[in-house]
Structure 1
Amino acid sequence: MITYTLKVVEVRKETIDTVTICFKQPGLKKIKYLSGQYLTLIFRINSRRYIRPYSFSSAPGIDPNIEVTIKRVPGGIISNHINDRVAVGDIVEVMEPLGDFTLSKIPALPEAHLVLWGAGSGITPLLSIAKFALHNEVCDHITLVYGNKNSESVIFSDQIELLQSKFKNFSVFHFHSQLFISANNPGVIEGRINPKKVLSIMKQEKPKDKTIHYICGPVGLKESVKNQLSVLEIPEENIYTEDFETVKDPKEFESITTQNVEVVFDNTTYNVEVVKGKSILEAGLDSLLDLTYSCQTGNCLVCKAKLLSGAAKMIGVSKKDELSEDEYLLCCSYPISNNVKVLVTN
């Protein structure tokens, strides 16, 4: 895995609990990325290494700096560290850009209507995609559907307004769940995002088979939008989601018990107790092993390892077809026998 060291040139306050970290592009070997991808930041706090992925809020070819936006999470070690401690002049180690929540796989966009669905910090990759698509005339029309608690919690409000004023083919629906909306503010809708209401308006603008949908937000938002799109018979290949969390069925853990696992890492074998419910990766990190990982949702393949002995079970992995029979992603792997041994290969 390629890593870089980047210098912080600006820390921009977006809301009371959200900041954008702006990194200077390296002078010689510039970092190439696609709108919608994420950058993985590496910090060492109290002698422990922490790795977290954050979506780009900048767009390649549009913004001069590399930007990621981080919302404070209650109890979140890294999100709080970034919001409270990262400052201009700091040097941060990062991994190469990852992620496939991009426009690159979509054919025949010029006549399409691109619909971006987001809530809270889920706006981050969607803003990157919107900026790139608008400036490069990627598609015919773009609609952003964005849910927040109130106007004060809207991330990138200034940038969204600027895009609206500059591009006439960019429309925005704001949904505010904790605010009374006055009649003279038609651009804001009271309540949580209502896919049916939005799609009924959009139906008059473009045929349903010309809409392409990107969804980034809580599981509830993804499910409600996908359900409504299914009713309208929107093809599944026109629906893309960014998954920074996985929903796991408790029944899949019934055969799993606490086991000791041998982890071969950097030519050394470590004996790690993997408590029921924790993945091998989580147990390794708890044992202060500097294992390399990124998304922790079974998508990026960074935490790949070979199963040398015993039996393990992967739960929630979407890219099994990209793994050989003896390869496992430690973030989603759980021992189901008492003689499990894995060799970390990344």
Structure 2
Amino acid sequence: MPKTDSLHKQILDVIPGYRNAIERRETLRKLMRTNTWVGDFEATFRAKIADAVDTGATNLDDLRAEYTAARQEWKATGEFNVLITNAYHDADNAVAQTLSGGTAAALDYLRVEMDTLMADVRKNRDVITAHPSSAEQALDTPSGAKNWRTVTSLLGRYADLRNEHHSWIRRDGNIKGFEVCGQFTKLLADPHWQYRRATSPGKRATDSQIAAWFAGGTTKPNPTQSWPEFVASQAKDATDVDRPDIWPQSVRPNTWLLIVADNDPWLPDADTIAEVHRITTELFTRPMTESADNRWFYRLISELAQYGVDLGITAPPTSGVRETSWQTA
């Protein structure tokens, strides 16, 4: 049976203790009261004193006893109302703490949802591939409207998943590299890293295989063209550097969804994203000379592999010395 609740609500339902904390907070919100202002309280008894005197009273002991009891009740009620208010604030803090401690549970839930979504994407690959650029175009084919709804639903689910992912990991801070490290483990499928690889300043002085890999894994169409010239020509058409969202500008959303499905989609935590971004940035920006030892390069690739990142390249068996023979996965 399809789920009708929003993805955000589904996630909140699996956060341990969250619903109980919310119920406690909302109940206390309804129970909070504001005590009668002391001026109103005293005005009431001033009026009673005046009435007693006007009716011939010569002794106010009974009224004093009434006032003393009422004053104690008024004070105790006010203090109790403060306790309720403080309990409400405690409950509100408990809600925040529950959410703060629920990131792991939220990410686990999102990963299951991502697996389900990717299975649906692969099942509808042909429909996604043929997705037109407008609803009007979709209506020109017999199943166009149905297929349009199918693809837009899949795109919406992916956007919801990624937005929730971003929301949860940002509880640990503003994560640099979210858009380019949080889509899939095969980072070099992302236009951002393709550009960084093509324009990397340090790898042009290495052997031709390394230069080819940084230029996109292709061969030079013009044998007389130097590797720096070839890399520069590749970079001219590169886009989506430091893009602000999950959808690359150079790729249609339906095409991008298929790329994600084909490149091991993942939803890493904040620490993983931050570290992967740091290592990958160093990999693509650190200068290297012709006589440099490649050990640092292989070390960074190994570190990325430990985080589950696949660059499609492995170090030669003798990575302790400079090699010109590279293996590409």
Give the TM-score, by structure 1 length. Answer: 0.21
Give the number of the structure whose residues are more often strand, by fraction. 1
Higher relative contact order (CA 8 A, sep 6+): 2
Normalised by the length of structure 2, the TM-score is 0.22
